[in-house]
Structure 1
Amino acid sequence: MSPHTSTPVLIAGGGPAGIAVLLAASRIGELPRLLDEGLTLVEQGEHIGSGMLGRYVINSDSAAETFVDTITDNPVPELACLIHHPLVTMIRNHGRQALPLRIVAEFLDLVGEVLTGLIRAHPASRLLTGWQLRSLHQDTDREWGCHLVSCDGQRTQHIHACKVVLAMGAYQPEQRLHDEQVAGRPLLPRHAGRIMQSDTLLSPDGIDRLRAMTAGHEKPRIAIIGGASSALSVARVIMRDMADCLAPGHLTLLHKSRLKLFYRTAEEAVADGYREFSDTDICPVSQFVYRFGGLRYESRDLAMQLMGVANAPPEPLVRDVQITGDNDAQVNDILDNADAIIACFGYRPRRVAMMDMHDHPISLAADTTDGCLTGAECAVMNEDGHPIAGLFGIGLASGFRPSGAMGGESSFRGQVNSLWLWQTAIGEKILHHLLPQDAPVLVPVTRLRAPVLEPARGHLHP
């Protein structure tokens, strides 16, 4: 391969978010044009598809059937025929049940195999596996010089790209444990040696590492910090896999915001005795209560037990403590006496070094505490909150916040990590910027209506 080459579009990352752009194009009949125009997909692993998703030992918090939406009636025959695959049949048979993320990963790997064949069948497009994007340099035409390094570190290549999509996933930086204040104090260095982040706990060896951390304590005290889906998932995994050594009340959930429950209608919520919401918590498009901010499936079930909603039986193993600002002494006592602390502070987007046309480093909004990688149009934002020309982002912790026709409760202040939205509305937003403007992106009327009819599909919260 030539050490210097060019491509209209470079996508960095071939995991769920990276291939979502291709799937969004396929659903609206634009994948052939995207590949004919020219695309380079860079993935550090041996294949594209699931990325790191299969390592999480939890279930999805969306219905199984939503994951196969992307291939159902797909205009691309090679993708549409997957509907008859035994794995897809099994997933569809699960209907509205949750699905283990390892099964979702198997499905995405299957889709990735098909996309690999489609990319390689188009001479203008390329798939580079075993490579990483290391840095970007903006040239005088506001296009991008992309520096790639092979995963073995032995080779490099430079690609010139008109537009770049960052889909490199996310991570949990340890620095947040030094910076984030919990009851007036950072967790580190005060609790060094007793802290694990949720991403580690939810990995295959997470429970083994937790057992090692609490070795010597017959009935360990474990504190979980967080009130979002990942924190409730952590609690359920510990209850499931360490039930032999848990005593009642020794597993404590500490959270700042109150726990929020997803409901399909306000009437259903009230019928269950759940009234902790207002009009600003109801999506105007779907009428769902806490459409984006609410807990779902197994996390929701546990929260209902802790809150006593709908006559759910209490969960004796878990103690629920909200951090109010007035109970710092109680919270610090819990943390000081915990044998292990699981921090569920969410994720931050991965980024690469970037230089502008004057060889100055480009600082991003995402470099600040809780800053978002992208804005409303999925463009990567600089430190001043302005979009950077030709640079886009998608995926976990990218910071996308829906608005307008996508709906969502107006009170929602978080970010949406929805595989289904990546493959539909969010992916389509990016496509509008990637494809030539002389021919409009084809979005059939039926597709435009889909997010309205099924407005809460495909959520993933590792």
Structure 2
Amino acid sequence: MNTISHCQLIGTGTAGLCFVIALVNKVKQAQEPKKLKYQALLDSLIAIEGNHQPGGVLGNYQINANTDADEIVSCLLDDTPFSNLRDYYLQQPEVHQPLITLPKVGKLMLEPIANIITSLLGDNLLLDTEVTRVEISKNECKSYGSHDQLLVSSQKMVLCCGGKEELLKDLLPWRQKTVFTGPFLQTKDASLLPHQQGSILIVGSSHSSFSAAWRLLNDPVLSLYAKGRDIIMLQRNPLVKLRCTPEFAHQNQLPFDDIDDVCPVSGLVYRNAGLRKDAKALYIQIKKGIEKRVRLEPMAAISDAKHLLDNAALIIQCTGFRANLPKITLNGVTQKVRQRSNFGELSDIKSGAAIPNLFGFGLGIQIIPEGDYRGENSFNGSSDGVLPYPNAVAPVIIDQLIQD
């Protein structure tokens, strides 16, 4: 297939969905003449997705420790095709749980959103199509498939390819019993996990780490597997940050700085970097000695924990994501890309030069929105949640795409 368009979008997971939603919102809310430009971009946009429906792998996760209902629906503004869907979703509370599980998110929101976007894009949505490499020249962006066939030629390109987890070199000797956070949180069958005797070792003490531990303790799919096993979290950073109010932090003796660690917009401590919901509750239980099956083990390096790694039956690596990008060349020269600014342009790491007409955001690209969505001053990580995408990054990229 060789399709020509003004712009192609690679990936329709969380970031890609938010891009399309933001574009629909622009069309709905803008005045002429910008309205016509937004509509023209929507009409010509070609989206490429490796899975069988928009949404990426988000619907495969079994718990929802990362995103609550308010964050998920914040991107669905009024007077769009998505407003009724948002209102229906908010009317479906959980009776016995303090969170909405991701399978329920998938049923109530992700699948209906995918259906709407499928109807919006029509034949311009290419499903079950993997992009393996991208060629950029001054005036053209080309994407190629798994058999090196040309998929789409366009003037501009937006990469929303998600992230990937790679095995740490220090864990190579134990690779046979190591799983990554993502696949672990998608596990539906505990019989696939190694059943020899031993503890469960979680490498890292991030939000994902506590989410994994929470699931081992509370999810019926895994709690039987974890029964009778020690759960040990290797903790490199002694400070565990919690997203909470200053009052909550004081009450639970959690350290923070009044100036740098409190978001000026929300008033929350560690708005972008802190543990949320079940992960936060689990840490408080561990800290107070209520939950005794999980312990935090300090380490300066993984090599310090060789005896723990040797004795573990299962190792869960929770050490973050890298961009899951296809091979990218500019005028035949391979590029290793990074964010150029908080406006979505990408550049080459080695030269620092901008790659013309190439934009990207989402997990792995790690663009931190400025302004109201920047959060606390001390935050220096990436902002990968649903909330910042449509409200900060996607609209800025869209406005650059319609420039002549």
Instruction: Give 1:90 deviation, angstroms.
Output: 1.5
Name which of 313, 320, 338 aligns with 2:312.
338
> Residue 115 of structure 2: SS of its match in structure 1?
helix
**Structure 2 contact 59–110 (Cα < 8 Å) conserved:** no
> Residue 146 of structure 1: SS of its match in structure 2?
strand
Who is 2:395 aligned against?
A: 428
Deviations 1:59-95 (A, max 9, x none): 1433313323333413x3x33343465x55326x78x
Structure 2 unaligned blocks of 5 or more: none
Taking the TM superposition and a 5 Å limit, the aligned residue runs for 1:67-216 are 67-74=72-79, 76=80, 78-83=81-86, 85=88, 87=89, 89-90=91-92, 97-106=98-107, 107-120=109-122, 126-139=124-137, 141-149=138-146, 156-174=149-167, 177-178=168-169, 186-189=170-173, 191-205=174-188, 207-210=190-193, 213-215=194-196
CA distance, structure 2, for counterparts of residue 114 and residue 32 of structure 1: 21
Instruction: Give 1:419 deviation, angstroms.
Output: 0.9
Aligned residue identity for 1:315: E
CA RMSD between the two structures: 2.7
- Percent identity, aligned pairs only, is 23
> Residue 234 of structure 1: SS of its match in structure 2?
helix
**Structure 2 contact 373–388 (Cα < 8 Å) conserved:** no
Aligned residue identity for 1:194: K
CA distance, structure 2, for counterparts of residue 144 and residue 134 of structure 1: 14
Aligned residue identity for 2:295: R
> Residue 334 of structure 1: SS of its match in structure 2?
helix
CA distance, structure 2, for counterparts of residue 45 and residue 247 of structure 1: 35
CA distance, structure 1, for counterparts of residue 75 and residue 373 of structure 2: 18
Q: Give the 3 Å change call, closer, same or farther, for CA 248–378 of structure 1 in structure 2.
A: same
**Structure 1 contact 131–148 (Cα < 8 Å) conserved:** yes
Aligned residue identity for 1:68: V
**Structure 1 contact 196–343 (Cα < 8 Å) conserved:** yes
Taking the TM superposition and a 5 Å limit, the aligned residue runs for 1:2-401 are 3-28=1-26, 29=29, 33-37=37-41, 38-48=44-54, 50-74=55-79, 76=80, 78-83=81-86, 85=88, 87=89, 89-90=91-92, 97-106=98-107, 107-120=109-122, 126-139=124-137, 141-149=138-146, 156-174=149-167, 177-178=168-169, 186-189=170-173, 191-205=174-188, 207-210=190-193, 213-215=194-196, 217=197, 220-240=198-218, 241=220, 242-244=222-224, 246=226, 250-257=230-237, 258-264=239-245, 266-277=246-257, 279-308=259-288, 314-324=290-300, 329=304, 331-357=305-331, 359-365=332-338, 375-384=341-350, 385-401=352-368
> Residue 423 of structure 1: SS of its match in structure 2?
helix
Instruction: Give 1:317 deviation, angstroms.
Output: 0.6
Aligned residue identity for 1:284: P
CA distance, structure 1, for counterparts of residue 177 and residue 329 of structure 2: 39
Q: Which moved more, 1:198-207 or 1:222-231?
A: 198-207
Q: Give the 3 Å change call, closer, same or farther, for CA 428–40 of structure 1 in structure 2.
A: same
TM-score, normalisation: structure 1: 0.77
CA distance, structure 2, for counterparts of residue 110 and residue 52 of structure 1: 15
Deviations 1:295-320 (A, max 9, x none): 01000001112222xxxx52111111
Q: Give the 3 Å change call, closer, same or farther, for CA 320–352 of structure 1 in structure 2.
A: same
Deviations 1:407-428 (A, max 9, x none): 3122222211111211211211
Q: Give the 3 Å change call, closer, same or farther, for CA 130–62 of structure 1 in structure 2.
A: closer
> Residue 334 of structure 2: SS of its match in structure 1?
coil
Deviations 1:406-458 (A, max 9, x none): 23122222211111211211211211211235xxxxxxxxxxxxxxxxxxxxx
**Structure 2 contact 204–317 (Cα < 8 Å) conserved:** yes
CA distance, structure 1, for counterparts of residue 225 and residue 66 of structure 2: 27
CA distance, structure 2, for counterparts of residue 102 and residue 35 of structure 1: 33
> Residue 335 of structure 1: SS of its match in structure 2?
helix
**Structure 1 contact 375–399 (Cα < 8 Å) conserved:** no
CA distance, structure 1, for counterparts of residue 202 and residue 53 of structure 2: 35
Structure 1 unaligned blocks of 5 or more: 179-185, 366-372, 438-462
TM-score, normalisation: structure 2: 0.87
- Number of aligned pairs? 390
